[in-house]
A = this chain, B = another copy of it.
């Protein structure tokens, strides 16, 4: 093991995006390896607005593997973390840092301990697939630190064992998680269908919906669905395979109407099988339903779809608008229907890419209060009578790129000399 005084620390920092499934993953055929019962397809979200940053470090002075999430130490003992660490260490290669005079042989990695710090640039508890971005970032950054030869697709099969949907965060743009056929899961991995430049007109607005009830975790929820739903196998075997082919084609051809139809129906069917679970699982609430009704009414009124919606295991809506102009019209509608509490700062109510707000002609709360009902809506509820606070905030973003190494050391989350959170 290189270095004389064993005082060196090597570290790598990486940033990984989150993703939103447009053809949903729900149900495992293998709980330990995390092998799904159907393929899924996702859109990677721009890491500028939603991402995980992770710094991984190694030093002979570390006496145990440790991890901090958003500054707070968490346990690495969970089976899923352990699976990822084991799989990566098994593939580690020789690493040399001439500047620091460090040479690590691949067999040394089994005996070297790691410090890991991870941070989400969005609220972890908001139900925005933080575990997907987190596990993907952990695997990606460790792979870079340990000089793995595997490409991102092969790494995705490791990230999958940490959190199923994490495998889709190894690429930007449009990503398919192939369920694979092998019992050992070696072919259950992500492949990029198209990068984020392929369809760069799309704009994404996320409504973070205020939830009253505690939600069922997706791990136990999908287990219950597979065990008790009379519809899930039909979905997995008969419905999803056709939709996967159609969605790949819609993405390839930038066919927005087909993209909307497939995205919306597949989100609805995922929630349908949750409802068909016993006891039933409800992820969407009345606010989610109102968002769907509003989008459907608008799409119908326009004759051709303007916006797709999709909901993961929670009440938050992810809306995908065909272009910036549509996104500005969507944001006007959302603010008209879901105004913030009176004392809310607009700047904290619309976060992410605020230029959409500018396009919508909204500068301050006075502009929100002055919004008139969109043409497809018949009732004009006075602003004062509207129920407020059903949505916590909105995030404006777009499809984005995959994981990247951040070479600027100032972005590291661990101190270069201490190996502890900065």
Contact residues in B for A228 (Cβ distance below 8 Å): 265
A268 at the interface (CB under 8 A from B): yes
How far apart sit A213 and B296, CA to CA, in the bound complex (Å)? 15
Question: C-beta contact mask, A358-402 vs B, less than 8 Å → 1, else 0?
Answer: 000000000000000000000000000000000000000000000
A269 at the interface (CB under 8 A from B): yes
State which of B230, B238, B268, B286 has its C-beta within 8 Å of the C-beta of A276.
Answer: B268
Question: Which of the candidate stretches A91-99, A277-285, A317-325, A407-415 sits at the interface with the other chain?
Answer: A277-285
A231 in contact with B269 (CB, 8 Å): yes
How far apart sit A277 and B275, CA to CA, in the bound complex (Å)? 14
Tell me the number of copies of this protein: 2
How far apart sit A74 and B275, CA to CA, in the bound complex (Å)? 38
A264 in contact with B282 (CB, 8 Å): no
Chain A residues numbered 284-309 whose CB sits less than 8 Å from any CB in chain B:
285-286, 289-290, 292-293, 296, 300
A7 at the interface (CB under 8 A from B): no
How far apart sit A280 and B296, CA to CA, in the bound complex (Å)? 9
Question: C-beta contact mask, A150-166 vs B, less than 8 Å → 1, else 0?
Answer: 00000000000000000
Residue of B nearest to A288 (CB): B282
Q: List 29 A-B contacts (CB under 8 A).
A: A212-B286, A213-B289, A213-B293, A228-B265, A230-B235, A230-B239, A230-B265, A230-B269, A231-B234, A231-B235, A231-B269, A231-B272, A234-B234, A234-B238, A261-B278, A264-B279, A265-B276, A265-B278, A268-B275, A268-B280, A269-B275, A272-B273, A272-B275, A275-B275, A279-B300, A280-B292, A282-B292, A282-B293, A285-B286
